[in-house]
Amino acid sequence: MIVKEAIHSVGSYFILLGKTFKKPESSKEYWKAFMRDLDYLGLNSVWIVAVISLFVGAIVTIQTAYNLDDPLIPDYYVALATRESIILEFSPTMISLILAGKVGSNIASTLGSMRVSEQIEALEVMGVNPASYLILPKTIALVLFNPILIIISMFLGIVGGYLAADYIGVVAPADFIQGLQLEFNSFYVAYALIKTMVFAFIIATISAYFGFYVKGGAVQVGINATKAVVTSSVAIIVANYILTQIILS
């Protein structure tokens, strides 16, 4: 029974994707929806990404410094380890998981409320493809803007690490900067941004799926929003493993 439901859900998900990526009826209206979603889903997430990245960068630096407290290990290795941790995993993966909770639940609850209030049916009556009109702008907005959020996260994470190292005195500023520049591989940034775009697509489409197919009332909207966050988070972790194997192997 569980397997049958899972197969049905996966099939419904891909059918929804097929409806989503159809040619828009009105480019002007889709552009307005895109700009609205860019602001609502993207720009409104900058502050939480900035705060979390700044403090986590500081925490990673402090913990790394104490764990590498060995006379045989140069101090600049603290910055190197902090840089790699932030670029490779924290910014692209952890921030995406946070966005899955913030943005994903928003998408699922918004579409769920529209389904419950029969607004989606009203769009169908007017001859509008609701899947495309409601989901496509959100998906494009996240895929385009989330990499910007991750770049901000990388920068502020490293800044937080530098400030923590300087304030607490675990690493001298000159050593920290030296470690940041040591053996830097720019491909790691590209790898992180590729993962981010895939994660953004997962967040937008899976959350939209759970919201679009809500059955019931307001209680079910909340339940589906929770399912959207959990499913998106699991999908991100699995995709992270697959992409890491493919790109870095």
Interval 85-139: pLDDT, tens: 999 999 999 999 999 999 999 999 999 998 888 888 888 888 788 889 999 999 9
Give the domain ranges of the chain. 26-248
Interval 75-100: pLDDT, tens: 888 888 899 999 999 999 999 999 99
pLDDT band at 155 (very low <50, low <70, confident <90, very high): very high
pTM of the entire predicted model: 0.92
Between CA 51 and CA 77 the distance in angstroms is 25
Interval 162-201: pLDDT, tens: 999 888 877 888 888 888 888 888 899 999 999 999 999 9
Between CA 81 and CA 64 the distance in angstroms is 7
C-alpha distances in Å from residue 82, one per residue of 3, 129, 159, 244: 42, 47, 11, 19
